[in-house]
Amino acid sequence: QRFQTSSAVAQGKAAIQVHEMFRSAAILAGGRPGKRLYGGRCDFMNATLEDKKKGAENIAGAVKKYGEDSPIPIVLHLDHGRDSDSCAAAIAGGYTSVMIDGSSLAFDENVELTREVVKYAHARGVERGRGAGSAGRGWRTMCFQRDPLIPIPLKAVEFFRKTGVDALAISYGTMHGASKGKNVKLRKEIAVAIRECLNHEGIFGALVSHCSSTVPAYIVDEINGLGAR
């Protein structure tokens, strides 16, 4: 557990220092496996809710250690919270932002789950406001239903209105996983249409471009040149 905590401190310190160098606000994300791993349990994939809370505390403590007096805004964000308990564990541990991922659910079920987490998070100060010891902004986000048949702009407006969520990760062609941008076909008009609909209805909400990272071609070539794929 000491090793795991030291690892979290080292990663948090490095990320914060680089962001300070570029004078850029930082959103540091810790996923569900991270909370289990840093909870100090050897078979961390079978971690209990209490283990996850402990892991969240360790990660948050590492970020706070170097972020409390930082000149940049810092947010500690839970990536892909699958249920309300996961989000509650992260908030209890000190996370300032949580994602509730209901993208596998039917729209109405997604709305209910997200609304529950939003209500819980708002009541505990996980909202637009102070981040991890600095003037950060804590957003709760969620992943929107990934169904190309849904008229997304109008559904997105409905989702914001019914849940009160602060930010929404929309599906417009970005891809997760090892693809890292390979064969991606972005439909930017979806994001534009959602923003226009939100503006028309007078609804403020941030749109998140989730799973949108790529690996530059020269790095791919270098890695493959060493025998990888």
Catalytic residue list: 79
d(CA 60, CA 138): 14
181 and 215 Cβ atoms separated by less than 8 Å: yes
* Cα–Cα nearest to 140, from 80, 51, 62: 80
d(CA 51, CA 26): 26
* Cα–Cα nearest to 29, from 88, 74, 84: 74
Q: Please report the beta strands in 72-157, taking only residues with DSSP state E, as ranges in sequence order.
A: 74-81, 97-101, 141-143
* Cα–Cα nearest to 28, from 73, 67, 62, 77: 77
Tokens of 48: 């209990």
Tokens of 188: 């930017």
d(CA 86, CA 38): 14
**What contacts 54, CB < 8 A, 6 or more positions away?**
38, 39, 40, 93
